[in-house]
Structure 1
Amino acid sequence: MDTLTRISDLCRILEARRRPISLQDLMGQLECSESTARRAIHKLRDEFNAPIVFDQNAKGWYLDRTCNARTFRLPGHWLTAAELHALLSCHQLLRQIEPGLLGPEIAPLMEHIETTLAKHGLDRALLAERVRLVAIGARPVPSETLKAVAEALLSGHRLQVTYHSRSRDEIRERTLSLQRLTWYRSNWYLEAWCHQSGGPRRFAVERLLSARPLATAAEPIPTADLDAHFADAYGIFAGLATQTATLLFSRERARWVADERWHPHQRGRHLPDGRYELTLPYGRADELIMDILKYGPDVEVIAPTELRDAVAGRLEEAAKRYRRHLVRF
C-alpha cells in the first residue's frame, strides 16, 4: 500500500470514530507495523494539519472536533482502489442499462480512473466479464430520445414531447418542465411539471414519440414537494398515500421478505410462529396488488378490507380460469 492511500485510510478510520483508537487497533486496520502507523499519524497531523490528539487516559488517537480545532482537507481525488473500482463498476452497469447515454461525456474521467486502477493492479477488462445487470421486462428507449431528455433535464430547459399514453391509448403534444429521471424496475420514467395539465406528472420515457429541448427555462418544483407527490405512496403511481396495507407472509417466505425494501416508510416484525408482518403506505393499489399476487399462497392481506377483497377477487378469477377445460387451438 502506498503512503498516500494509507494516510487516506487513516483519515477515514479516525473520522468514522467518536472514541479514541489505540495504536494496536490502528496497526490492525491499516495492516502495517507500529513504525508505519506512527509515520502515517505524524504525516497526517503535521503535513495536512489534521487535528489528531492522543488521549492519555484512553491510550488512543482521535480527531478533535471542537470548534477551535484546526480545519483540514486532503487534496486531490482521495479515493481508495476499492472506491475507484466501485465507481468503474457503476459505469459498467450504466452502460448495460442504456448504452451510449453518458459515454462521450465521461470518457476522459473514465480514462483517468482506469489509469489509476492500473496502478493498483486492477483490470478494467474483467468488469465486462464479472459485472452483469439483467433487466427483466425492460422496454427499449431510442438513444436520441434519452439524450434529448438528459440535455433538457441537466440544462434546466423545457422539453416539447409527443406522448402516447398506454392507459388511454391517445397521443398528445405536451410541454414539460423536467424535474427528475428515474430508473424503476428496468425502465426509465420522467417526473415533470406538465404545462398542459397544470400539475406534476410521471411519463414512461419509451412512450415519447418525439422529444425536443426548448430554449425556455423549466419551472422548478421544490424537492420536498416532488417527493411528497411521487415518493409518498407505493410503486410508480404518483399521489399521496391514503391507506396502509398490512401483509402477512408465511414462515417460509419470511426469510426473503424480511430483507426486502418495499417502501421507505415500511414497518415489519417477525411473529412468534415465524411468520412476517409487513405494513406499508399506498395510494392506488394496482401495482401493490400485482406484487402481492406473485407470492400466491405465501401471503395474506390482513388490511384494509378493500385491498383484501381486491386480491381475493383476482385469485378467484385466476382459479376459475385454471379450472376450465383447456381448449387447444
Structure 2
Amino acid sequence: MERIERIHALHRILTGARYPVTVPRLQEELECSRATVYRDLAYLRDQLMAPVIGNGEAGFRYDPEDSHRFELPGLWLSSDELHSLLAAQQLMLRSGGGVLANALAPLQQRIEKLLDDHAGGRRVPVERVRVVAHRTRRLEETAFRHVATAVLDRRQLVFDYRARSTDQLTRRTVSPQRLTHYRDNWYLDAFDHDRDALRSFAVDRISAARQLEEVARDVPNEELDRQLASSYGIFSGTPKGWATIVFSAKAARWVADEHWHSQQEGRFLPDGRYELKIPFSSGRELLMDVLHYGSDAEITAPPSLREQARALLSLAISNYDRDPV
C-alpha cells in the first residue's frame, strides 16, 4: 500500500473509531510495520495537524472535540485513481462532437466538481499530468462497433481476419466472450466455432464484421482465465512451462518493481542480479519483452526458449553485417 493510500486509510480508521485503536490492529489494517504506523501517525499529527491523541499502549484515536473539524487537505488520489481519471477525460475529449459528447458531458462536470471539492475550491491543473499512448495501432471504427456490440448483445459474429504473423486471410465465425484493452490496443476473446477452441483476435485485423442472429455460446470466466490468462502475454494459452530470466544488477532496479504476471516469482541473487520466473505457453511476446532489455537480460531456462532468443539475436546481428540497401 502506498503512503498516500495508508494516510487515507488511517484517517478513515481514526475517524470511525469510538475507542482507541491499538498499534497491532493498525499494522494489520494498513499492512505495514510497527515503525511505519508510528511514522504515519506522526505525519498525520505534525504535518497535517490532525487531532491525534493516545499512546502506544492504550492505542490512538481522534480527539472527539476536534475530530469533526478536521479534514485531509488538498487532492488525494492514488496512481490508479489518477490514471482512471485521466483516461476518462481523454475518452471524453476524443469523442469530439460524436454521439458520446452529450452523454459524457455530465460526467465531465462531475469529475471537475470532484476535483474542486477535494482541492478546497482551487483549480487542479490536471492537464499537467499526461497519459501517453504507446504504439497504438490504427483501428477501423466500424469493425470495432460491430465487435463491441456483439460482445454486449451476446450474439455470434462473422468476420474476415488477416493474421499479422502470416498475412493469411480467413473467414471466422465466433461467439464473442470478452473485449480486452491491452497495451493500448483492443483484442477480442472469442470461441471460434470452426476450430472448436478459444482464440484471441486483434480487433485492428478484423474487417467485414457482421453480427448474426444466433445467440453466442458462453464460456465460463474460469475457463477463459485458465486458457487465456494463465500464461504470459495476451496470446498465452495453457502454460507449457516456466521461463527463467536473469537481469543484470543495473536492470534489476527496474525489473524488481515490475509486474509481468500474477504468478511470477522473483529474487535477488547474491551478486545483485535479479532472477525472474514466469509461466509461458508461446514465447513470442515474452521474447519481445526480454529482448527489449538487450544485454541486461539473459534467458537461462528452458533451453528451447534460450535457443529461440539466440536465433533472433543472431538474425538481428546479420542485418548489420552488410551495407544498408
Q: Provide the C-alpha distance between the structure 1 equivalents of 2:158 and 2:176, rounded to a whole number of angstroms.
A: 10
1:210 is matched with which residue: 205, 208, 211?
A: 208
Question: How far did residue 316 of structure 1 move?
Answer: 2.3
Q: Provide the C-alpha distance between the structure 1 equivalents of 2:227 and 2:16, rounded to a whole number of angstroms.
A: 37
SS of 1:166's equivalent? coil
Deviation per residue, 1:248-277 (Å, 9 max, x gap): 111111111111122111111111111111
Partner of 2:133: 135
Choose 226-235 or 161-170, whichever is displaced more. Answer: 161-170
SS of 1:173's equivalent? strand
**CA separation of 1:112/1:95 partners in 2, compared to 1, >3 Å: closer, same or farther?**
closer
Question: How far did residue 122 of structure 1 move?
Answer: 5.5
For residues 155-170 of structure 1, the aligned pairs below 5 Å read: 155-170=153-168
Partner of 2:33: none
Deviation per residue, 1:106-155 (Å, 9 max, x gap): 4333333323434443647x43x323232232112133332333322233
SS of 2:320's equivalent? helix
Q: Provide the C-alpha distance between the structure 2 equivalents of 1:289 and 1:238, rounded to a whole number of angstroms.
A: 13
SS of 2:135's equivalent? coil
TM-score, normalised by the number of residues in structure 2: 0.72
1:92 is matched with which residue: 86, 89, 94?
A: 89
Partner of 1:58: 58
Question: How far did residue 187 of structure 1 move?
Answer: 1.2
Question: How far did residue 103 of structure 1 move?
Answer: 5.0
Q: Provide the C-alpha distance between the structure 2 equivalents of 1:138 and 1:260, rounded to a whole number of angstroms.
A: 21
Which runs of 5 or more structure 1 residues have no equivalent in the other structure? 1-6, 39-53, 63-79
Question: How far did residue 244 of structure 1 move?
Answer: 0.9
Q: Provide the C-alpha distance between the structure 2 equivalents of 1:283 and 1:134, rounded to a whole number of angstroms.
A: 30
**CA separation of 1:272/1:10 partners in 2, compared to 1, >3 Å: closer, same or farther?**
closer
**CA separation of 1:61/1:177 partners in 2, compared to 1, >3 Å: closer, same or farther?**
farther
**CA separation of 1:323/1:161 partners in 2, compared to 1, >3 Å: closer, same or farther?**
closer
**CA separation of 1:147/1:104 partners in 2, compared to 1, >3 Å: closer, same or farther?**
farther
Question: How far did residue 27 of structure 1 move?
Answer: 7.1
Q: Provide the C-alpha distance between the structure 1 equivalents of 2:276 and 2:9, rounded to a whole number of angstroms.
A: 42
Q: Provide the C-alpha distance between the structure 1 equivalents of 2:133 and 2:44, rounded to a whole number of angstroms.
A: 43
Aligned residues: 284
**Contact 2:263 2:279 (8 Å CA) reproduced:** yes
Deviation per residue, 1:207-230 (Å, 9 max, x gap): 111333444432221111101111
**Contact 2:230 2:239 (8 Å CA) reproduced:** yes
Q: Provide the C-alpha distance between the structure 2 equivalents of 1:101 and 1:187, rounded to a whole number of angstroms.
A: 22
Identity across matched positions, percent: 38
Partner of 2:285: 287
Q: Does residue 237 of the first structure (1) align with residue 243 of the second (2)? A: no
Question: How far did residue 184 of structure 1 move?
Answer: 1.6
Q: Provide the C-alpha distance between the structure 2 equivalents of 1:96 and 1:304, rounded to a whole number of angstroms.
A: 47
Q: Provide the C-alpha distance between the structure 1 equivalents of 2:316 and 2:195, rounded to a whole number of angstroms.
A: 37
Q: Does residue 267 of the first structure (1) align with residue 265 of the second (2)? A: yes
**CA separation of 1:105/1:196 partners in 2, compared to 1, >3 Å: closer, same or farther?**
farther
For residues 249-264 of structure 1, the aligned pairs below 5 Å read: 249-264=247-262
**CA separation of 1:105/1:141 partners in 2, compared to 1, >3 Å: closer, same or farther?**
farther
**CA separation of 1:276/1:179 partners in 2, compared to 1, >3 Å: closer, same or farther?**
same
Choose 106-115 or 222-231, whichever is displaced more. Answer: 106-115
SS of 1:225's equivalent? helix
One-letter code aligned to 2:149: E
**Contact 1:92 1:131 (8 Å CA) reproduced:** no
Q: Provide the C-alpha distance between the structure 2 equivalents of 1:263 and 1:191, rounded to a whole number of angstroms.
A: 19
One-letter code aligned to 1:166: R
Two-structure CA RMSD over aligned residues (Å) = 3.8
Partner of 2:25: 19
**CA separation of 1:315/1:83 partners in 2, compared to 1, >3 Å: closer, same or farther?**
closer
Deviation per residue, 1:266-315 (Å, 9 max, x gap): 11111111111111111111122222222222122211111112211222
One-letter code aligned to 2:229: A
**Contact 1:97 1:135 (8 Å CA) reproduced:** no
2:45 is matched with which residue: 28, 31, 34?
A: 28
**CA separation of 1:160/1:199 partners in 2, compared to 1, >3 Å: closer, same or farther?**
same
Partner of 2:319: 321
1:186 is matched with which residue: 158, 166, 184?
A: 184
Partner of 1:224: 222
SS of 1:159's equivalent? strand
**CA separation of 1:261/1:105 partners in 2, compared to 1, >3 Å: closer, same or farther?**
same
**CA separation of 1:235/1:15 partners in 2, compared to 1, >3 Å: closer, same or farther?**
farther
Q: Does residue 113 of the first structure (1) align with residue 111 of the second (2)? A: yes
**CA separation of 1:184/1:170 partners in 2, compared to 1, >3 Å: closer, same or farther?**
same
**CA separation of 1:82/1:138 partners in 2, compared to 1, >3 Å: closer, same or farther?**
same
